[in-house]
Chain A
Amino acid sequence: MARAKAEPQQPNTGMTLIVLVGLAIAFLLFMAFLNVVKSGNLLNETNLLFATLIFYSGAGALYLGFGVTGTESYVKFASLATWLGLLANTAAIAHRWYESGHVPFSSVYEMLLSFVWTLAVLTLVAEKKYGVKVIGTVTMPVAIVGVVLMQLLRTEVHPLVPALQSTWLHVHVALAMLAYAACALSFALAMMFLIQDNTKTETFLAVTSASTLAIYASVVLTRFEKWGGLSLVAWNPEQKSEVFLSRGVRLFVTVPDLGWLMTLTLLVVASPLVFYGLARWKRNDSFLTLANRAVFLSILLQVMAVVMFILRASDGRYPSLDTDGLFPTSLAASPFILSGLVGGVFISLLYLLLLWRRPDLARLLPSADNLDRITYKTICLAFPLLTLMIASGAYWANQTWGSYWSWDPKETWAAITWLVYAGYLHMRVTRGWRGRRAAYFAIIGFAVVMFTFFGVTYLLPGLHAYA
C-alpha cells in the first residue's frame, strides 16, 4: 500500500506499469488483510507465503516491464519489491523453523522455501554488485513458480523421521540450495550472454519452441489416456496426500477431454519449430514471420491449457481406469505438470520480450565479455558448493546407512551434475573455451541440475524419498 503512494514522482510513459503493479500489490495485500482479520492471525505461514508471492510477482512484473521498456525507475521499485518479498520469505522460513523445531530442510516444500530465498538474494547481488539489472526478468519468474509450487506442496509440519535427525542433513541441504541457486544464476547469465553475443533471434525461437514442445510432449506422452483423457494422480483431501493403491503405486484418475487440449497445444507449440525448420531448409525468411506468429498463437493456447488444467484439476471427481468409483484430484497432486505448463508460458513470454525489445535489452545488459566473466565466476562459486554438498551427503549417508556411496539415482545425478561442471571448468581453463560454447555448457549444466532436483525425485525412486 505504501508502494502505491510512493509512485507518482515523474510523469513518464512507464509510470502506468508501476502504478498498476503498485495497485495490484495493494489490492492483493488488502485482500490478504481481510483474510487476516477473518482468521485473526497475522503471522501464519499461509499469509507470509502469500505476501512472498505478491511481492515476488510484483518484482517480476516490474523487471519484465524494465526489460520491455527500459525505464530505469522500474528497477528501483522492482528491487524494493524483491526486498519486501525476501523479508516475507525470511519470515516464512523462520516461522516454519519455529513451528517445526528443526531447520526447515526436510521436504521438497521446505527446500523450495530456501531455494527461492537464495535465488532472490542472488538476484539482488547480481543487480547491485554486477549491474545485471535485467536478471530479475529470468529469476523472478522462477521464484514465482517456486512459490506457487510451494502453495501446492504445502504440507503440515512433519516431525523428522530418525534418519533425518542429523546436523549433516542441514549442512547438506543448505549447501545444495546455495549451489543450485548459483547454478540457476549462471544459467540466466549465460542466456543473457547469448543475447549480447548476437545469437540470432530465430535460434532463440527454435530453443523456445523446442523446450515448450518438450514440456507438452512429456505431458502428452506420459499422461494421455484413451478417448482424449488426461490421467492425473488422485488426491485424498482429508489426508492431504496422494492416493496409493499399494506401496509406491499411485492411483490415477482420468480427466476427460483435457488430453485433447494438451495434444492440440502440443501441435501448436511445435509449429514455430516446424516453420523455423522450413525457413532453414528453403532459405526463405517469410517462414520466420509465420513462426513468430505461431509463437503468439501458442502463447494463447498455452494460457488456455493452463487455465483449463487449473479449473479441471483443482476440483471435481473423476473415474479411474484401475478401480471403480470416482476419485477427487487436486493441483497439489500434479505440481510438476502445473509448473511445467506455467514455465512454458514464461519461456514463450521471454521470447516475445526478446523478439520485440532486442535492441533495448542489448543496451541494458552488461557487455558480452562481462557477462561471460560473471557466468564463469558464478560457476566458480557453484562448483565448490556442489563438491561440498556431495561430500556432506556422503558423510551423512555413511552415518545413517553405513555406506557413503550407494549409486542411488539422486547420488548418481548429483555426480553427473558435478562432472558436467567439472567439464565446463576444464574446457574453459585448459582449452580456453570462452563465450558461446561456455554459455551452452552452463545452460546444459543447469538443465542437469533441474533434473537432479525435480526429475529424480519424481521420476526415479531411491533413498532420497524424503525429498
Chain B
Amino acid sequence: MSLNLRALAHKTWRTIASIQTGVVLLILVVILSAVGTIVLQRPATEPDEMQSAYSPHVLRILDAVGLTDVFHAWWFLGLLLLVSLCIVAASIDRFPNSWRYFSRPYKYPDESFRRASHPQKSLAIADEESGLVAAERALHSLGFKPERVVREDHFGIFAERHRISELAVYIVHASLLLIFFGTIVDGIWGWRGYLSLNEGQTSNMVEIRGGSTRTLPFAIRCDAAGQENYKDGTPKKWWSQLAVVEDGRDVQKKEIVVNDPLLYSGVRFYQSSYGLNGKVDKFLLVATPSGGSGEKKEIGLALNDTVSLDADTTVRFAEFLPDFAVHDGQVYKKSNYLENPAAHLVVTSKRAGKDFDVWIPQMDEVADNSKAPYQFQATDLKMGHFTGLQVSHEPGQWGVWSGVVLIGIGLAFVFYVVHTRFWVVPVCDPKTGKCSLWIGGSANRNRDAFEQRFNHLVELVEEELNPVPRTSASEQVATVPGN
C-alpha cells in the first residue's frame, strides 16, 4: 500500500513537473484571460453599462461563473498558483542535472564522445607535449584560460567560457516566481483607493474600491492645485502641492504631477484628476450706490460671506447655482455643471428695514435688483478646484521590480551568452607511434556561428604547430608529416 502511495506521489510529481502539463495550463491561462478581455469586467465597468450590455439572465450566469471578474476569480488565481507550482516543480526536477553539468564540468572527452562530437578536427603532431603547448597558446590568444587535465591514464586540455549560461534558464524561472510572489503579496496586503481634496482641505480617509474607506495614520493636505494648458486648450500638466500631516505637524511636502507621485511610509499618492468642485472660491463684484451718487466699491465674497457696504447696508452671498432656470417665479438648479451660473445676494438695509433679493444675472420675476440700495456688477467668478489622487499601497512591488530586472538579465544570458567548450586530446597510435591532436568543441546555442569560431581555433593551432611563416599551403602540408 505504502509503495502504491509512493508510486502515486511519484506519478503526480512527474505530471506536475512535465512540460506538457505546463503547456496545457498556459493554454488555459491564455484562453481564460482572453475571455476576460472580451466579457466586460465588473471592476472596470459601471454597473448600468453592464446591465445595458447583457440581458439580466445572461448577466446572472456570467456573474455566477465569475466571468465578469475573471482576474480576481478564485479559479483564475488558483490556475496562476498551479502554473507557479508547475514552474517550481519543473525547475526542481531538472535542476540537479543542470547543476551537475554546471558544478562538475565534463573536462575529458572519452573515446565514444570523441567519435560522436561535432565539430571536431584531428591534426598531425610530432609529440604530445608540443601539440598541447600549441593548443594552449592558441586558446590563450582567443582569450580562454586552458586547463591541463591530467588523469592516471590520459591527459588533455579543457577550456570553456560562460558556464553560467547553462543555469540562466533557472534565473528566468526564479525571477518569474519572484514577480508572482510580489503580486501575491500585493494582492493580500496591498490596497488601492481614491482621495479627493479641495484646495486647503486635509483628509486621511481614502475611498477603497467597492465602497469602503480606509483611515490613514496620517493626513494629507492639499495646499494648492492647478492645471496648465497647451495653446489649443488641452491639458498639459496637472499639479498639486501636498503636505503630509502627522501628529499635527507637516512632516513632508511635495508638489506632485502626473508620473511623479508622493511617497510616504509605503503609501503613494498619484495625481490622477483635477477639476472644478462646483463651489465658489471667490465672487468679485463692483457695487455702485443706486441713484448714481457715492463711490464704487469692489468686494469679494465667498459663499455665506457678509460684507458691509456702508454704515447701513450689508450684503450676503446667499446662494450659488451653477446652472439655473427660472420657472413660475422660482429659480431652480438645473444641473451641477457650470453652464449657466446664477448668484443670489441678499442686501440688508437698516434704513429701509428690509432685505432685498439681488440676483445676478438680473431676473425681473424674482428679484428686486432695481429697488436695492446698491447695483452690482459681477467682474469675476473664481471657482474652487479639487485634486483627485490615486492612493496605493503595494508592499510587494519590490519583488516585482527585482524580478523584472532579473528576468532581463536572465533572458540576456539565455539567448545571448553562449557556453563554449573546447577539448584538446593528444592521441597516439601504439602500433605506428604516430600522434595526432584531437580538437573538439561544443556550444549550447548558435551552433553555426560556433563552427566558424571552431575553425578559427583550428587554424590558430595549426599556425602554432608550424611557427615558420607560411609561404604556401602545399609547403605547409609537406612539412607537417615530416616534422
C-alpha spacing A420/B261, complex, angstroms:
35
Interface string of B401-420 (1 = CB under 8 A from A): 10010011001100100000
Is residue B260 contacting chain A, with contact meaning CB distance below 8 A?
A: yes
State which residues 407-425 of A face B: CB under 8 Å.
407-409, 412-413, 415-416, 419-420, 422-423
Q: A412 — which chain B residues lie within 8 A by C-beta?
A: 33-34, 36-37, 71
On whether the beta carbons of A423 and B23 are closer than 8 Å, the reply is yes
The chain A residue with its CB closest to the CB of B405 is: A391
Q: B30 — which chain A residues lie within 8 A by C-beta?
A: 416, 419-420
Q: B26 — which chain A residues lie within 8 A by C-beta?
A: 419, 422-423
On whether the beta carbons of A398 and B19 are closer than 8 Å, the reply is no
Is residue A304 contacting chain B, with contact meaning CB distance below 8 A?
A: no
Given A159-B232, A387-B407, A387-B408: A399 in contact with B37 (beta carbons within 8 A): no
C-alpha spacing A430/B90, complex, angstroms:
11
Contact of B23 among A162, A395, A409, A426 (CB under 8 A): A426
Q: A387 — which chain B residues lie within 8 A by C-beta?
A: 407-408, 411
On whether the beta carbons of A162 and B238 are closer than 8 Å, the reply is yes
State which residues 150-182 of A face B: CB under 8 Å.
158-163, 165-166
Is residue A453 contacting chain B, with contact meaning CB distance below 8 A?
A: no
On whether the beta carbons of A163 and B37 are closer than 8 Å, the reply is no
C-alpha spacing A332/B415, complex, angstroms:
42
Is residue B44 contacting chain A, with contact meaning CB distance below 8 A?
A: yes
The chain B residue with its CB closest to the CB of A462 is: B44
Q: B237 — which chain A residues lie within 8 A by C-beta?
A: 162, 165
Is residue A401 contacting chain B, with contact meaning CB distance below 8 A?
A: yes
C-alpha spacing A384/B33, complex, angstroms:
22
On whether the beta carbons of B258 and A403 are closer than 8 Å, the reply is no
On whether the beta carbons of B230 and A426 are closer than 8 Å, the reply is no
C-alpha spacing A419/B30, complex, angstroms:
8
Q: A413 — which chain B residues lie within 8 A by C-beta?
A: 34, 37
On whether the beta carbons of A404 and B38 are closer than 8 Å, the reply is no
The chain B residue with its CB closest to the CB of A159 is: B230
C-alpha spacing A420/B415, complex, angstroms:
17
Q: B235 — which chain A residues lie within 8 A by C-beta?
A: 161-162
Contact of B37 among A159, A388, A423, A456 (CB under 8 A): A456
Is residue A402 contacting chain B, with contact meaning CB distance below 8 A?
A: yes
Q: A166 — which chain B residues lie within 8 A by C-beta?
A: 259
Q: A373 — which chain B residues lie within 8 A by C-beta?
A: 448
Is residue B234 contacting chain A, with contact meaning CB distance below 8 A?
A: yes
C-alpha spacing A413/B36, complex, angstroms:
10
Given A391-B404, A399-B260, A423-B23: A161 in contact with B411 (beta carbons within 8 A): no
Is residue B41 contacting chain A, with contact meaning CB distance below 8 A?
A: yes
C-alpha spacing A161/B272, complex, angstroms:
12
Contact of B34 among A388, A400, A406, A416 (CB under 8 A): A416
- CB proximity of B128 to chain A, nearest CB, Å: 38
Contact of B415 among A384, A406, A462 (CB under 8 A): A384
Q: B38 — which chain A residues lie within 8 A by C-beta?
A: 460
Is residue A38 contacting chain B, with contact meaning CB distance below 8 A?
A: no
Chain B interface size, under 10 / 10 to 19 / 20 to 34 / 35 or more = 35 or more
Given A373-B448, A419-B30: A404 in contact with B400 (beta carbons within 8 A): yes
Given A158-B234, A161-B234, A403-B392: A384 in contact with B259 (beta carbons within 8 A): no
On whether the beta carbons of A402 and B261 are closer than 8 Å, the reply is yes
Interface string of A78-96 (1 = CB under 8 A from B): 0000000000000000000
Contact of B258 among A162, A383, A408, A427 (CB under 8 A): A162
Is residue B124 contacting chain A, with contact meaning CB distance below 8 A?
A: no
Is residue B397 contacting chain A, with contact meaning CB distance below 8 A?
A: yes
On whether the beta carbons of A426 and B19 are closer than 8 Å, the reply is yes
C-alpha spacing A409/B257, complex, angstroms:
26
On whether the beta carbons of B392 and A402 are closer than 8 Å, the reply is yes
Q: A398 — which chain B residues lie within 8 A by C-beta?
A: 394, 397
C-alpha spacing A394/B399, complex, angstroms:
13
On whether the beta carbons of A395 and B408 are closer than 8 Å, the reply is no
Is residue A431 contacting chain B, with contact meaning CB distance below 8 A?
A: yes
Is residue A287 contacting chain B, with contact meaning CB distance below 8 A?
A: no
The chain A residue with its CB closest to the CB of B412 is: A384
C-alpha spacing A366/B34, complex, angstroms:
37
State which residues 347-393 of A face B: CB under 8 Å.
373, 380-381, 383-384, 387-388, 391
Is residue A405 contacting chain B, with contact meaning CB distance below 8 A?
A: yes
Interface string of B171-202 (1 = CB under 8 A from A): 00000000000010000000010000000000
Most chain A CB neighbours (cut-off 10 Å) among B232, B258, B259, B392: B259
Given A161-B235, A162-B258, A409-B37: A426 in contact with B408 (beta carbons within 8 A): no
C-alpha spacing A371/B235, complex, angstroms:
50
On whether the beta carbons of A405 and B261 are closer than 8 Å, the reply is no
Q: B41 — which chain A residues lie within 8 A by C-beta?
A: 407
On whether the beta carbons of B236 and A162 are closer than 8 Å, the reply is yes
Q: A416 — which chain B residues lie within 8 A by C-beta?
A: 30, 33-34
On whether the beta carbons of A407 and B23 are closer than 8 Å, the reply is no
State which residues 235-274 of B face A: CB under 8 Å.
235-238, 257-261, 268, 270-272
On whether the beta carbons of B183 and A405 are closer than 8 Å, the reply is yes
- CB proximity of B265 to chain A, nearest CB, Å: 15
Given A400-B270, A404-B400: A384 in contact with B258 (beta carbons within 8 A): no
Is residue B131 contacting chain A, with contact meaning CB distance below 8 A?
A: no
On whether the beta carbons of A430 and B33 are closer than 8 Å, the reply is no
C-alpha spacing A462/B45, complex, angstroms:
10
Q: A407 — which chain B residues lie within 8 A by C-beta?
A: 33, 36, 41, 70-71
C-alpha spacing A407/B38, complex, angstroms:
12
On whether the beta carbons of A162 and B257 are closer than 8 Å, the reply is yes
The chain A residue with its CB closest to the CB of B183 is: A405
Q: B272 — which chain A residues lie within 8 A by C-beta?
A: 401-402
Which 8 residue pairs of A and B lie closest in terms of their CB atoms, listed nearest first? A162-B258, A402-B392, A409-B37, A159-B230, A407-B71, A391-B404, A384-B411, A402-B390
- Which of B's residues lie within 8 Å of A, judged by CB? 19, 22-23, 26-27, 29-30, 33-34, 36-38, 41, 44, 70-71, 183, 192, 230, 232, 234-238, 257-261, 268, 270-272, 390-392, 394, 397, 400-401, 404, 407-408, 411-412, 415, 448
Other than the given A384-B408, A384-B412, A394-B400, 9 more pairs (CB < 8 A) read A162-B259, A380-B415, A387-B411, A396-B259, A400-B259, A407-B70, A412-B33, A416-B34, A423-B27
Q: Can you sample 23 A-B contacts with CB below 8 Å?
A: A162-B238, A162-B259, A162-B271, A165-B258, A373-B448, A383-B415, A384-B411, A387-B407, A391-B404, A391-B407, A399-B260, A400-B259, A402-B392, A404-B394, A405-B183, A406-B44, A407-B41, A409-B37, A412-B33, A415-B33, A419-B30, A426-B23, A462-B44
